[in-house]
Structure 1
Amino acid sequence: MWKEFKGFISNDNIITMATGIIMGSAFTAIVNSLVDDIFMPIIVAFTGQADVSGLAAKIGGTTLNYGLFLQAIINFILVAFFLYITLKALEKVQKKRIVAPDPEPVGPTEVELLQEILSEIKTNNSL
């Protein structure tokens, strides 16, 4: 059982997955900082208030904190939107890199070589 566990832990898929989780966590911190520290202040400058987390309603003896829910929705939409924009920009850069024109081939093409070989065979057979 120990040998199987050791093999499971040292499996390349586990290491790849752990790396992806760590990178995702780091990227989440970057995106959250982008939204909280750059875009939210811009929105506050235009709207006057972007934090609705303090909104609440009293129902009997219970407080309904619907502002926290609304703030979570706003944050999600902002994070999703800016992540979408970032990924579209990266996709555009990748396409430019992938679609780069191939250099002009030097010498004859494969078809030209085959035609030349066929011509040689026909010439040799006619002698």
Structure 2
Amino acid sequence: MDGFKKFLFRGNLVDLAVAVVVGAAFSALITAFVNSFIGPLIALIGGKPDFTDLRFKINGTVFPYGQFLTALISFLITAAVVYFFVVLPMAKLLQRITRKEEASEHPCPHCLSEIPLAATRCRFCTSEVEPAS
């Protein structure tokens, strides 16, 4: 029982649970955005965004391929919305943040270890080096 208690209260498990809950809430948000704005926009342009009524019949067996088409279109639209409104802006933000960070170390010309810019001697190989400016 003690091992089970340790398992439940490990940090990784709690982080994973929080990620699942936030992911589910984010998924609901994206789905609501697609259904509220993107779907009606497609209906305005192409007629209707819902193809669930499309089906064909062979020997009495119904194949509702419209459900698949609707799910496929919904997936592609959702993926595009997530990419253009979440992934791309975050990538640009991270790129801007990392570009602003200045280097605080440079490689030692003798052993290639990272040493502070103002260092006159490498702390790893003890060779004298010129301070980087």
TM score, norm. by length of structure 1: 0.76
Mapped pair 1:93 → 2:101: no
Q: Using the alignment, how far apart are the partners of 2:118 and 2:37 within structure 1? A: 56
Structure 1 residue ranges, 4+ long, deviating more than 2 angstroms after superposition: none
**RMSD of aligned residue pairs (Cα, Å):** 1.8
Q: Which has the higher contact order (CA 8 A, sep 6+)?
A: 1
Q: Could you list the per-position Cα deviations for residues 14-62 of structure 1 after superposition, in whole angstroms to 9, with x for gaps in the alignment?
A: 0011011111101101111111111111111111112111101122222
* Percent sequence identity over aligned pairs: 27
Indicate the structure (1 or 2) with the bigger Cα radius of gyration.
1
Give the number of aligned pairs. Answer: 107
For residues 11 and 95 of structure 1, what CA distance do their matches in structure 2 show?
33
Q: Which amino acid aligns with 2:13?
A: I
For 1:25, the aligned partner's letter is: A
Alignment gaps of 5+ in structure 1: 103-108, 119-127
2:50 aligned residue: 51
Query: Alpha-carbon deviation of 1:101?
Result: 5.5
Q: Which has more helix, going by share of residues?
A: 1
**Structure 2 equivalent of residue 64 of structure 1:** 63
Name the TM-score, length of structure 2 as normaliser: 0.73
Unaligned runs of 5+ in 2: 103-116, 122-127, 129-133
More strand by share: 2
